[in-house]
Structure 1
Amino acid sequence: MVIGSAHAERLKDLASIQGVRSNQLVGYGLVVGLDGTGDQTTQTPFTVQSIISMMQQMGINIPIGTNLQLKNVAAVMVTASLPAFSQPGQNLDVTVSSMGNAKSLRGGTLVMTPLKGADNQVYAMAQGNLVVGGVGASANGSQTQINHLGVGRISSGATVERAVPSTLNLSDTISLELKESDFSTANIVADAINKKFGTSIAAAQDARVIKVMAPANLSRVSFLASLETIDVNPAPGYAKIILNARTGSVVMNQSVTLEDCAVSHGNLSVVINTAPVISQPGALSGGQTVVAARSEITIEKEPGKVLKVDGGASLSDVIKALNAIGATPQDLLAILQAMKAAGSLRADLEVI
């Protein structure tokens, strides 16, 4: 196998079209029909306020001061993603999440809820029966639960009421945005487009944006379809190592290289064992039983080793060198940071 060999990727996998994007929608609503697992209204007053407001809109007036004890209603937040070019009448999937102290949303029905965008305009209406992936049961103080009961989903639960205006046909130029900024890849993409159409219609503006002039003899859709199918050999990415300090995971890409260095590695462990000691007085002595604790502390230290790590020009060489140290993933976090500080590691370290 040849390491580092270039491979062609479709342009649609490397870049997106500026202006063609989804929009986030959010709404506040009520889920009804729960089997006694709704919000505790004394602790979530906003649920009661929402019920009173909804009833008033339906022509039912509730006397002031009425203490509603509701068990089958839960206040929820409804979220959805509005895809690009969505038109009125199209259906969307919605996610319904409890925002009070409801025990479960299983079996509930979402009442008609308007979904708004960032401009505070209503773009969809959501309603329907929830599907909750978890299940739970309780009796006589015992409780069991599988998965999460506070979030449900409604497939095709929202209907688009307003379309987002598209700016795709308003300009003679199209902007392609690389998913990863890279000057070399941007230049390669521009050259591939110019080679495809036989004219200089594309130019890289910076490390992310490529401006393309749309030909007048092709429809915008046909031109974009032709752009997406162009094969591009992207430039090798930056050398990077991702360190997850919580799990000890270490992930590095193909461009990581290592210079010659020496690494000393040894483990120090401290073990503390505590056992209770009970002193029992003799019969008729009038003494009291005393409980004390006795601790034993043991310090174990493995002999440190200094290992010479040979430099490597490929990822496989780096992996072999790190495995020779015999370090655990948690130890590698510190070792890689020390290698970077010493100038032996040719890569950027990112801790997540």
Structure 2
Amino acid sequence: MFSLRLPLLKTASLWATGLALALGLAATPAQALRIKEVAGVQGVRTNQLTGYGLVVGLDGTGDQTTQMPYTTQSLANYLQQMGIVLPASVASSLQLKNVAAVVVTAELPAFAQPGQQIDVVVSSMGNAKSLRGGLLIATPMRGADGEIYALAQGNLMVGGAGAAAGGSKVQVNHLNAGRIPSGAQVERAVPSPLQTGDFVTLDLNTNDFQTARRVAAAINSRMGAGLANALDGRTVQVRAPINTNARVSFLADVEEIPLEASVPAAKVVINSRTGSIVLNQAVTLGPCAIAHGNLSISISTTPVISQPNAFTQGATVVSQQSSVEIKTGQGKVIQVPASPQLGDVVRALNTLGATPQDLLAILQAIKAAGALNADLEVI
């Protein structure tokens, strides 16, 4: 016998705790932000670099070359660059246990100049058991345009350990990826549009016309009238000095200008996979009534044995007899009053005694009824 229960609504202390935390954060008075925290200078950005390389010096934990032919081919190509040419028959039969093919990634910071060091991440792309103790040989790092912007090389730092013997295995953390601090040297600088033109464009982190207007007004009030204009809900155009040093000083002052935070658009974010629900301080509820209860489905199976009479040609037969029982808990209707503040919304939802999974459906129903004054976003 087994029982299948479908709880529609039940008490969840975790949900109450989460909403209480949200209430506490929302109760904090609005703090003045700086422009640098809501916007960035257009064109000042990082660039993604990637490369393919080999890690050598492993303790027998490298790729199984019979299944990873590109590791053998890569090593043969590397040896050829070093002046060592292997016959094709020898190169194809190499059994390399101390070499692993890897993908190397890095972020090239804005304004990075040749000779500067950046960190790189090295990840196995084959069936290597571990990269611990390996050395990444010189690997060109290319940008989206295919040009080489950095050269990576160095000893890997792998934050894990593992051991195996006699069919038993113990492993702590992940062994197939590591990091090389300052493991790449910048070879080429990326041109920046910061010093070109009479204007500098600020890109807001979120699309909000109110924030764009406040940023432009704050700049004009502090730096001079008519310098900044909000082009749309995402960008603000600012007239900046032509001189290089003066422009940098001007932008440094602009980034430090205080900005009163605006109230964001009311939004409820729902993670359908984990059941997480987050409400911002602008969410309000209209008056509504919600009914909830419990539904229980029980399925029981009893074996039934049919025994034939003596001296007959019959056979013993075992069959199953199943019964299905559905129980519905006593449902009730809860009146939810109008909730103009996040604290009121939290208290109203807590009175339902619902789990986060239940609230996924309840909030959607409240929204469909027109009582939830917020946008629902499912991630």
TM bucket by the smaller chain? over 0.9
Deviation at 1:290, TM superposition (A): 8.8
Deviation at 1:268, TM superposition (A): 1.7
Distance 1:277 1:88 in 2: 82
Deviation at 1:300, TM superposition (A): 4.2
Distance 1:28 1:343 in 2: 54
Deviation at 1:173, TM superposition (A): 0.4
- Per the alignment, residue 330 of structure 1 pairs with 357
Q: What TM-score, normalized by structure 2, do the two folds share? A: 0.86
Report the residue type matching 1:130 in the other structure: L
Task: Please point out which of 280, 289, 301 is paired with 1:262.
Answer: 289
State whether residues 276 and 291 of structure 1, in contact with CA within 8 Å, keep that contact through their aligned partners in structure 2: yes
Report the residue type matching 2:66 in the other structure: T
- Per the alignment, residue 15 of structure 1 pairs with 39
- Per the alignment, residue 183 of structure 2 pairs with 157
Bigger relative contact order (CA 8 A; separation at least 6)? 2
Q: Secondary structure at the match of 1:12?
A: helix
Distance 1:126 1:207 in 2: 41
Residues 33 and 290 from structure 1, CA distance in 2 versus in 1: closer, same or farther, beyond 3 angstroms? farther
Distance 2:371 2:333 in 1: 16
Higher share in helix: 2
Deviation at 1:306, TM superposition (A): 1.1
- Per the alignment, residue 103 of structure 1 pairs with 129
Distance 1:317 1:276 in 2: 54
Corresponding residue pairs, total: 349
Question: Runs (4+) of structure 1 moved beyond 6 Å?
Answer: 273-279, 287-296
- Per the alignment, residue 52 of structure 1 pairs with 76
Deviation at 1:296, TM superposition (A): 6.8
Deviation at 1:215, TM superposition (A): 3.5
Deviation at 1:166, TM superposition (A): 1.5
- Per the alignment, residue 136 of structure 1 pairs with 162
Distance 1:140 1:293 in 2: 46
Distance 1:297 1:332 in 2: 28
Deviation at 1:199, TM superposition (A): 2.0
Deviation at 1:4, TM superposition (A): 8.2
State whether residues 265 and 327 of structure 1, in contact with CA within 8 Å, keep that contact through their aligned partners in structure 2: no
1:250 aligns with 2:274: no
Deviation at 1:220, TM superposition (A): 1.0
Q: Secondary structure at the match of 1:221?
A: helix
Deviation at 1:21, TM superposition (A): 0.4
Residues 296 and 142 from structure 1, CA distance in 2 versus in 1: closer, same or farther, beyond 3 angstroms? farther
Report the residue type matching 2:123 in the other structure: S
Q: Secondary structure at the match of 2:218?
A: helix
Deviation at 1:228, TM superposition (A): 0.7
1:167 aligns with 2:204: no
1:182 aligns with 2:208: yes
Residues 56 and 215 from structure 1, CA distance in 2 versus in 1: closer, same or farther, beyond 3 angstroms? closer
Deviation at 1:62, TM superposition (A): 1.0
Distance 2:66 2:84 in 1: 22
- Per the alignment, residue 231 of structure 2 pairs with 205
- Per the alignment, residue 340 of structure 1 pairs with 367
State whether residues 274 and 294 of structure 1, in contact with CA within 8 Å, keep that contact through their aligned partners in structure 2: yes
Distance 2:156 2:223 in 1: 50
Q: Secondary structure at the match of 2:253?
A: helix
After superposition, the C-alpha distances for 1:160-212 in whole angstroms (9 at most, x for unaligned) are: 01111121111110100110110011011101000002321000000010000
Seq. identity, %: 60
Structure 1 unaligned spans of 5+: 280-286
Distance 1:81 1:40 in 2: 30
Distance 2:100 2:75 in 1: 10
Q: Secondary structure at the match of 1:92?
A: strand
Deviation at 1:6, TM superposition (A): 3.9
Report the residue type matching 1:133 in the other structure: G
The farther-off stretch of 266-275 and 223-232 is 266-275
- Per the alignment, residue 282 of structure 1 pairs with none
The farther-off stretch of 330-339 and 39-48 is 39-48
1:115 aligns with 2:141: yes
Q: What TM-score, normalized by structure 1, do the two folds share? A: 0.92
Distance 1:289 1:44 in 2: 58
- Per the alignment, residue 313 of structure 1 pairs with 340
Residues 42 and 326 from structure 1, CA distance in 2 versus in 1: closer, same or farther, beyond 3 angstroms? same
After superposition, the C-alpha distances for 1:39-72 in whole angstroms (9 at most, x for unaligned) are: 1111111111101111111111111122011111
- Per the alignment, residue 57 of structure 2 pairs with 33
Distance 2:166 2:304 in 1: 39
Distance 1:176 1:195 in 2: 17
Deviation at 1:276, TM superposition (A): 8.5
Report the residue type matching 2:204 in the other structure: L
State whether residues 176 and 212 of structure 1, in contact with CA within 8 Å, keep that contact through their aligned partners in structure 2: yes
Residues 275 and 18 from structure 1, CA distance in 2 versus in 1: closer, same or farther, beyond 3 angstroms? farther
Deviation at 1:145, TM superposition (A): 1.4
Deviation at 1:143, TM superposition (A): 1.1
Residues 43 and 272 from structure 1, CA distance in 2 versus in 1: closer, same or farther, beyond 3 angstroms? farther
- Per the alignment, residue 21 of structure 2 pairs with none
- Per the alignment, residue 89 of structure 2 pairs with 65
Deviation at 1:301, TM superposition (A): 3.1
Deviation at 1:5, TM superposition (A): 5.0
Residues 96 and 294 from structure 1, CA distance in 2 versus in 1: closer, same or farther, beyond 3 angstroms? farther
